[in-house]
Structure 1
């Protein structure tokens, strides 16, 4: 697993092509962004962890018996990454528009899991929307869907 993680980081740092990246690199890139979003407010609580785990299983095909290992690797990868471009490039190139919207919705779910949008989380979401080529309107729609899933009132959330 560590060797696979190192190859993934090497390919990102070298700017290597992602069009032929194996499926697990797609899940790894998504997991890294989700881990970054979860940890940005100072820690990862059980709600954030549950959302990340469930979405990695249902939307990115991560086997349930590997989820703890994948999430641990993703947290380590996100912590050591100096930028987001390598992850977003893989996702932008391999996901269609609907897939990128689904990812944005999942990211919104993670940052709102604690009921509050922190300034750093809002900034991250704006950056990710741009890097994933998701427009402001579409990101807003994804945000509203995430808030509805979480049972949060849109008017009560802070930006």
Structure 2
């Protein structure tokens, strides 16, 4: 009975949304779809890329395994149905501050480097998405260098 009451209040305070649902206006879905897009420019989502995507999304968005898998499935579908980047980047522009958008670009670079190679297509997509997210070229290039060097660009220096 106590669990039922707990569930009732959790649903009441979350507006009736299940916490693992990723609606079209969820910035996490937009970010994940962009990550899927860069990861699949050279082929389908490989096992290595899928594992990297799972780890990034789970860690950065504090999700459990089931919610992370649900987000990946929704992101693959959203990317497949998208005609351009605007639906994702415009949502991210409305939802995130400068630092949040910078983090999305950093996560995308991590996906680009997941297979150990950066193609000119991936580099071009990163330039276009970073531009749409108002991340300056200087920062985009610095994030790329940090990821290429094996450093986590989202770690705060202590």
Which of the two has higher C-alpha Rg? 2
Please give the alpha-carbon distance, in whole angstroms, between the structure 2 residues aligned to 1:47 and 1:31.
16
Provide Cα deviations, 1:73-96, integer angstroms capped at 9, x if missing partner: 211110110011111111122222
Partner of 2:108: 107
Partner of 2:85: 84
Structure 1 moving runs of 4+ over 6 Å: none
Provide Cα deviations, 1:7-40, integer angstroms capped at 9, x if missing partner: 62xxxxxxxxxxxx5xxx1111111111111111
Please give the alpha-carbon distance, in whole angstroms, between the structure 2 residues aligned to 1:100 and 1:132.
6
CA drift of 1:148 comes to 2.0
Partner of 2:124: 123
Partner of 2:96: 95
Please give the alpha-carbon distance, in whole angstroms, between the structure 2 residues aligned to 1:53 and 1:89.
24
TM-score by length of 1: 0.75
Is the aligned partner of 1:48 residue 2:49? yes
Please give the alpha-carbon distance, in whole angstroms, between the structure 1 residues aligned to 2:78 and 2:126.
19
Provide Cα deviations, 1:85-108, integer angstroms capped at 9, x if missing partner: 111111122222122111111111
Please give the alpha-carbon distance, in whole angstroms, between the structure 2 residues aligned to 1:112 and 1:146.
7
Aligned length, in residue pairs: 133
Please give the alpha-carbon distance, in whole angstroms, between the structure 2 residues aligned to 1:61 and 1:29.
16
Rate the CA distance shift 1:60–1:101 in 2: closer, same or farther, 3 A. same
Q: Report which of the two has the higher share of helix.
A: 1
Please give the alpha-carbon distance, in whole angstroms, between the structure 2 residues aligned to 1:55 and 1:89.
22
Aligned-residue CA RMSD (Å): 2.1
